[in-house]
Structure 1
Amino acid sequence: MVKIGKIELGEFPLLLAPMEDVSDPPFRAVCKAGGADLMYTEFISSEGLIRDAAKSKQKLDIFEYERPIGIQLFGSDIETMRASAEIATQVNPDLIDINYGCPVKQVACKGAGAALLQDIPKMVKMTEAVVKATHLPVTVKTRLGWDENSKNIEEVAERLQDIGIQALTIHGRTRVQMYKGEADWTLIGKVKENPRIKIPIFGNGDIDSPQKALEYKNRYGVDGIMIGRAAIGYPWIFREIKHFLQTGELLTPPTIEERIEICLKHLQFSVKWKGERLGILEMRRHYASYFKGFENFKSFRMRLVEASSEAEIIQILNEVEQYYTTLV
Structure 2
Amino acid sequence: MLRQDIDPLADTIPPRYAYESDDEDEFNPFPNQPSKLSQSSSAVPHNVNVKIQLGTAELSVGSLVFASGDAGKTWARGADLGEQVGAAFVENVQVGLIFHPQWSSSKALVIVSEVTTRLPTWAMHPYANAILGKFKPARVAILDTYATSTYITSQPQPHYEAPLRYLHIGSSSPSLNEISQFSPPNLSQGTTASLLSILALPSFSSSPSNSATAILLPTPHPSPLPPATIAPTDISKIGASDDVYGFEDSLMQKAHAALLKQAGIGGGKMWVGVGGDGKKDIPRSRRGDVGEGSMYI
What's the TM-score once normalised by structure 1's chain length? 0.27
TM-score by length of structure 2 reads 0.29
- The structure with the larger Rg is 2
RCO higher in structure (CA 8 A, sep ≥6): 2
Higher helix share: 1
